[in-house]
Chains A and B, each alone.
Chain A
Amino acid sequence: MFSTPSAMAATRPRYGGTLRVAMRAAPTSLDPAGPQAPDWFGSRNVSLLVFDTLVTVDNSGRPQPALATSWQSEPSNQRWQFSIRRDITFQDGTALTSDAVAASLRAVNPTWKVFSAGDAVIIERDSATVNLPAELALPRNSIVRREGGKISGTGPFTVTQWAPGKKLVLTAREDYWGGRAFVDSIEIEMGKTFRDQMISLGLGKTDVIEVAPEQLHRASAESSRVEHSEPVELMALVFARDRQSADDGRIREALALSLDRASLNNVVLQSGGEPSAALLPNWMTGYAFVFPSNVDLAHARQNLVGVRQTAPWTLGYDATDPSARVVAERIALNAHDAGLALQPTSSAADLRLVRVPLVSLDAHVALAELAKSLGLTPPKYNGNSNSEDDVYAAENGVLQSQRVIPLLHLRSASAVQATVKDWHKARDGSWNLPGIWLGPGMPGTDKP
């Protein structure tokens, strides 16, 4: 109550300033329906600055109103009706209407039946869809006005400069329905390596950067302010083909049993994640521990008795990911211990080392999107139940196909300058840039 003015200034949010952000992704289009950039986190964070979705999902995985103020479904969960928030305009000044929302959703989901009814939008699906609100919270379902090759959103910022894949400058909207952002503008440098981002942060040229999971430990040790999410990125081995025979299945199982996930996580990835033999992380489902993730060489070798690997498998990895090669080589060594031959390669291979982000805090949607990203058979949910048992059964079904071997769940991490205040990261790693403000003495501040 009698705190000094400086103390008051330190705790009271203030408007103004330019937030400088660096990211590894280099998207060439801001359209959420466009081709996704390799690093999905970056694209998602940029999308949330310019566009809104009908629904958002909170950290508990529950849908929350956004552009849609309420929604209701028929008992069969095939027909959904969403009421659209009023008095909202796109960045180009056009009013948000139910027709515009329906057109935006139809463009992204051509199989859906979407139409407007007054201030509401009605979505009809061919089958029951329990988690449609959570699905609508995916960035690709952002409401976009597309006209004459130009796109416009209802998000908190408007685009003032756009150099595809290089730089994006955003300006805060004064009339944003959720309230004006504290910072006046955001400058985003794209296509920067983790190393360059770290240097830029160290030199004070950037306020927010991404941190690779394997750099978490080092970045923290260097006294950077590092924030990380729950493990939200799956690292796994994905086979190019379905299981060819029973012997093939035994070899795949032997490979899974030979993997030393703990060493991969603790050493190679510097404890940047959690070992896991499940597709969805334990914090999301609570049952991931059920799938054994410890190395069991004896069992692996026993699996290979009477089974002969006809030719060494090739293990593909992303050559642009520095840690991927080490992980692949470690996996090859683990496999060799079990009696399997794996040859790491950066080209097409029998199985690939992949990193796939979890795009939703809703387990159902996250698993379905995961299977879709990995090219696996979509998970089969039983009935309309939205229970963990249903997700477990579906995930177990996917794992039983032996097309994928989960390795780790990695965290999404960011490092920010001390001048960045109220930095809160969602559990899925999404940035909440409109909610932050810049403290005094910040290099990018253009107001006293």
Chain B
Amino acid sequence: MRFRRKLLAVFALTVFLSVATVAWIVSAMTRRSFEQADEERTAALVAQFRHEFNRHGEEVVRRVETIASSEAATRMALKLSRGAPDYGAYLDEAKALAENQQLDFLEFVDSQGTIISSAQSPATFGYKESFPLAGPVPKDAFLKQEDLPDGAALALSAIRLINVGDRPLFVIGGQRLDKDFLAGLELPAGMRALLYRNPGNQAFSAQLLSDTSGPVTQAEQIAPLIKQIQSQHQEATALVHWSSNPADDETIHAIPLTGQQNQLLGILLVGSSRRAYVELRQHIRSAALLAGGAGMILAILLSGWAAARVTRPVEQLARAAREVADGNWNTQVMIQSSDELGELAESFNRMTHELLEQKERLVQTERVAAWRELARRLAHELKNPLFPLQLTVENLLRARQQSPEQFEETFQESSSTLLAEISNLKTIISRFSEFSRMPQPHLQSADLNELVQNVARLFQAQLHTPGRPPIECKLELAESMQPVAADPELMHRVLSNLVLNAMDAMPEGGILTLRTRQNDEHAFIEVSDTGTGLTPEECERLFTPYYTSKAHGTGLGLAIVQSVVSDHGGRVSVRSEPGSGATFVIELPNGELPDSSQSNKQ
């Protein structure tokens, strides 16, 4: 991954983590705040219910007292004290009085517990009231279970006693605790009240649960909470999942409702919807996602800009470094800042400048060394023929002075010698001249196998020159060599030089091997000898101009070889070890013409 992308990823990740952290913190704080508010609301509703319960209870007490003090009730009590009750006369009495006082339940019960008149169950006249009337009459309202023909009901009831005549008369009135009672509770938005009637030790029944709109659907969801209250008789809270949608979840606080004998008659359930919280949480998440997304995009853009601003000098430095590595030492980067990157760029520029200067100094030094070497070689090369020339001329002079009779003979010999050495001088000079005038290759499609075979054929006679140990020439040519772009004449000269070198390396005879091979990219020509071999130092300096390991050489042969091969876009190398011969390897590119050749063609 590139430095800019790394930088970009780091910036983006940092922004994302920051946004996520903030969103989580806000969400957690929201949840805590909501739950606190939810608890407060639930407590408020419970308090409100208790207040409403007490208020309704007081109202029921007041209405029952009104009935107990009414003329009809007094008359009924008086008649009862005088004899057996006339149930027929009171059949509708309780109902009429209950309707008048807006009570759902009203019964007149004599001291024996016999029902004289009942509003809720008129047919029960003459039967015994199930509610125990022994003991003091409760002052306040209380919860009471009413057994009706169509089932039990829960009532907020009150009892008052009419003591007129000899036989007291109980007035038991109440209001039904049902959906209407729940509807009378002023509930905050998102909250509701439910009522579960608990007749006896009956198992949970969905039909006993209702809210302000009637029976509750999926009432089984609340069953565990109901059972908990039934077993423990203590307030409890539970989170109810009505569906897979968390917004439908509801926190339900259950309050046991007990009767006079502390029996569990009902359970008030205060439900608080978590929809508001879930929606708020979703809004926060959405806002966080939106902000995060926008932040990410902005972060990417800003990070891109910042990364570009930061990495551009680095990239310039990297590019400049690559150019330097490619040999273009005259590379400079623009200094755009004064920070560390600016210092780095300045150092780089100073470094390339120093490298360039060192290179120029090195070139100058090498040039001087080359000239010195050339001078040394020239002096050496010229000194060898000049010394015989001097000796020959001195010998001529001495022969003329000392033995004129033999001068002619000496002159003839010396002349031959002089001409030979002068020819030698001319040869030396022509070689230097030839090196200086090395021609550019004229590339054409060349068959390397054919080239090798021609050279081998040319040197066949020399390899077997009488008087010297024979050299065996072996050809190991690849069978399917593809033609390459090469100048046949120059390559012929290159191979000839290498063969001559090999012959010089095998004064005691040996085996000369000429080998060709080819891969997908290059074609190879190898010239191997079985001579004395080369040391690593010799291998290293072998292609330096004017360097020679031979006693009589100009040191230009392999330099010419390297120059020609290089002009073909190839390279030449040698591998050798002392005592095991040497192998020169020419590597030429397949097919395509080297750039220099192309330029030459153009």
User: A: which residues have CB within 8 A of B?
Assistant: 217, 263, 266-268, 270-271, 326-330, 332-333, 343-344
Would you call B88 and A330 a contact (CB within 8 A)? no
Closest residue of A by beta carbon distance from B148 = A329
Is B122 part of the binding interface, using a Cβ–Cβ cutoff of 8 Å? yes
A-B contact pairs, 30 of them (CB 8 A): A217-B88, A263-B87, A263-B125, A263-B126, A266-B87, A266-B88, A267-B87, A267-B88, A267-B91, A268-B88, A268-B91, A268-B122, A270-B88, A270-B91, A271-B88, A326-B91, A326-B122, A326-B123, A327-B123, A328-B123, A329-B121, A329-B123, A329-B149, A330-B123, A332-B123, A332-B149, A333-B124, A343-B149, A344-B149, A344-B150
Is residue B305 contacting chain A, with contact meaning CB distance below 8 A? no
Complex Cα–Cα for A267 and B91 (A):
7
Encode B138-149 as 1/0 by CB contact (under 8 A) with A: 000000000001
Shortest distance between the CB of B439 and any CB in chain A (Å): 125
Cα(A344)–Cα(B122), bound, Å = 14
Q: Flag whether B3 is at the interface (Cβ < 8 A).
A: no
Chain A residue nearest to B149 in the complex (CB): A329
CB distance from A85 to the nearest CB of B (A): 49
Contacts A263-B125, A267-B87, A268-B91 supplied; 18 other A-B pairs, CB < 8 Å:
A217-B88, A263-B87, A267-B91, A268-B88, A268-B122, A268-B123, A270-B88, A326-B123, A327-B123, A328-B123, A329-B121, A329-B122, A332-B123, A332-B149, A333-B123, A333-B124, A343-B149, A344-B149
B127 interface contact, C-beta 8 A: yes
Report B87-98 CB contacts with A as 1/0, cut-off 8 Å: 110010000000
Interface residues of B in 97-126 (CB under 8 A from A): 121-126
Task: Give B279-308 interface residues, CB cut-off 8 Å to A.
Answer: none
**In the complex, what residues of B have CB within 8 A of residue A329's CB?**
121-124, 149
Shortest distance between the CB of B87 and any CB in chain A (Å): 4
Closest chain A residue, CB of each to CB of B117: A267
- Contacting B125 at CB < 8 Å: which of A267, A270, A271, A327? A267
Residues from chain B with a CB closer than 8 A to the CB of A330 are: 123
Chain B residues with a Cβ under 8 A of chain A = 87-88, 91, 121-127, 149-150
Cα distance, A263 to B75, chains bound together (Å) = 22
The chain A residue with its CB closest to the CB of B121 is A329
Complex-state Cα separation, A65 to B125, whole angstroms: 50
Instruction: Please give, as numbers and ranges, the residues of chain A lying within 8 Å of B123 by CB-CB distance.
Output: 268, 326-330, 332-333
B126 nearest in chain A by CB position: A263
Contacts of B124 in A (CB 8 A): 329, 333
Which residues of B are found within 8 Å of A344, using beta-carbon distances?
A: 149-150
Instruction: State the main secondary structure of chain A at its contact with B.
Output: helix
B residues near A332, Cβ cutoff 8 Å: 123, 149
In the bound complex, how far is the Cα of B150 from the Cα of A421, in angstroms? 48
Compute how far the CA of A248 lies from the CA of B124 in the bound complex, rounded to whole angstroms. 27
* Cα-based distance from A8 to B149 in the complex (angstroms): 59
- Closest residue on chain B to residue A327 by CB atoms: B123
Chain A residue, CB-CB nearest to B151? A343
**Measured CA separation A328–B91 after assembly (Å):** 15
Measured between alpha carbons, how far is A267 from B116 in the docked complex, in Å? Answer: 11
Which of chain B's residues have a CB closer than 8 A to the CB of A328? 123
Nearest B residue to A342 via CB reads: B149
Given the complex, which residues of B lie within 8 Å of A268, measured CB to CB? 88, 91, 122-123
Determine how close the nearest CB of chain B comes to the CB of A48; give it in whole angstroms.
34
A270 CA / B124 CA spacing, docked (Å): 15
In the bound assembly, the distance between CA atoms of A332 and B121 in angstroms comes to 12
A329 to B149, CA, bound (A): 7
Neighbouring B residues of A333 by C-beta, 8 Å:
123-124, 127
| Neighbouring B residues of A266 by C-beta, 8 Å | 87-88
Within the complex, the shortest CB–CB distance from B578 to chain A, in Å, comes to 121
**In the complex, A41 Cα to B126 Cα: how many Å?**
33
Distance of A343 Cα from B87 Cα, bound (Å):
23
**Chain A residue nearest in CB terms to B127:** A333
Which residues from chain A contact B125 at a C-beta distance below 8 Å? 263, 267
Give complex CA distance A239, B149 in Å.
21
* Distance (whole angstroms) from the CB of A195 to the closest CB of chain B: 12
Q: Across the two chains, which residue of chain B brings its CB closest to A266?
A: B88
Find chain B residues with CB under 8 A from A217 CB. Answer: 88
Which residue of chain B is the closest to A218 with respect to CB atoms? B92
Nearest CB of A to B110, in Å: 15
A270 CA / B88 CA spacing, docked (Å) = 6
Which among B87, B121, B123, B125 has the highest number of chain A CB atoms within 10 Å? B123
Chain B nearest CB, measured from A36 CB (Å): 30
**How distant is the Cα of A344 from the Cα of B127 in the complex, in angstroms?**
18
Residue with the highest number of chain A CB atoms closer than 10 Å, among B121, B122, B150: B122
Give Cα distance in the complex from A343 to B127, angstroms: 18
Which residues in B have their C-beta under 8 angstroms from that of A271? 88
Nearest chain A residue, comparing its CB with the CB of B125: A267
Cα distance A326–B120 in the bound complex, in angstroms: 10
Which residues of the partner chain A approach B149 to less than 8 Å between Cβ atoms? Answer: 329, 332, 343-344
Instruction: List the A side residues contacting B121 at CB < 8 Å.
Output: 329
Query: For the complex, what is the distance from the CA of A270 to the CA of B93, rounded to whole Å?
Result: 13
A330 to chain B, nearest CB (A): 4
A344 to B124, CA, bound (A): 14
Which residues from chain A contact B150 at a C-beta distance below 8 Å? 344
CB distance from A213 to the nearest CB of B (A): 13
A-chain residues with CB within 8 Å of residue B122 when the two chains form the complex: 268, 326, 329
Give the distance in Å from the alpha carbon of A270 to the alpha carbon of B87 in the complex.
9
CA distance A131 to B124 in the complex (A): 45
Nearest residue, chain B, Cβ from A214: B91
| Minimum CB distance partner of B88 in chain A | A267
User: In the docked arrangement, what's the CA distance between A266 and B149, Å?
Assistant: 21
| Minimum distance in angstroms from B106 CB to a CB of chain A | 15
Minimum Cβ distance to chain A for residue B413 (Å):
159
CA distance A333 to B123 in the complex (A): 8
CB distance from A266 to the nearest CB of B (A): 5
Shortest 5 CB-CB contacts between residues of A and residues of B: A329-B123, A330-B123, A267-B88, A267-B87, A329-B149
B162 to chain A, nearest CB (A): 21
The closest CB in chain B to the CB of A270 belongs to B88
The docked-state distance in angstroms from the alpha carbon of A330 to that of B127 is 10
Question: How far is B123's CA from A185's CA once the two chains are assembled, in angstroms?
Answer: 44
Given the complex of chains A and B, what is the CA–CA distance between A330 and B124 in angstroms? 7
Q: How far is the CB of A146 from chain B (nearest CB, A)?
A: 46
Chain B residue contacts of A326, Cβ below 8 A: 91, 122-123
B150 to chain A, nearest CB (A): 8
The complex places the Cα of A343 from the Cα of B91 at a distance, in Å, of 21
A270 to B90, CA, bound (A): 10
Nearest-CB distance from B119 to chain A (Å)? Answer: 12
B-side contacts of A263, CB under 8 Å: 87, 125-126
- Which of A267, A327, A333 has the largest count of B CB atoms less than 10 A from its CB? A267
Nearest A residue (CB) for B91: A267
Q: Which of B121, B125, B149, B150 has the most CB of A within 10 A?
A: B149
Across the interface, name the chain B residue whose C-beta is closest to A331. B123
CA distance A347 to B91 in the complex (A): 25
CB distance from A346 to the nearest CB of B (A): 10
Q: How far is the CA of A343 from the CA of B124 in the complex (A)?
A: 15
The closest CB in chain B to the CB of A260 belongs to B126
CB distance from B115 to the nearest CB of A (A): 11
A278 nearest CB across to chain B (Å): 23
A261 to chain B, nearest CB (A): 14
- Report Cα–Cα, A15/B149, bound state, in Å: 54
Counting chain A CB atoms within 10 Å of each CB, which of B88, B125, B150 scores highest? B88
Q: Which of A270, A327, A328, A330 has the most CB of B within 10 A?
A: A330
Which residues of A have CB within 8 Å of B126? 263
Hey, which chain A residues are within 8 Å of B91, CB to CB? 267-268, 270, 326
CB distance from A273 to the nearest CB of B (A): 13
In the assembled complex, which residues on chain A have CB atoms less than 8 Å from the CB atom of B87?
263, 266-267
Bound Cα distance A332, B149 (Å) = 9
> In the bound complex, what is the Cα–Cα distance between A266 and B87 (angstroms)?
8
**In the bound complex, how far is the Cα of B125 from the Cα of A263, in angstroms?**
9
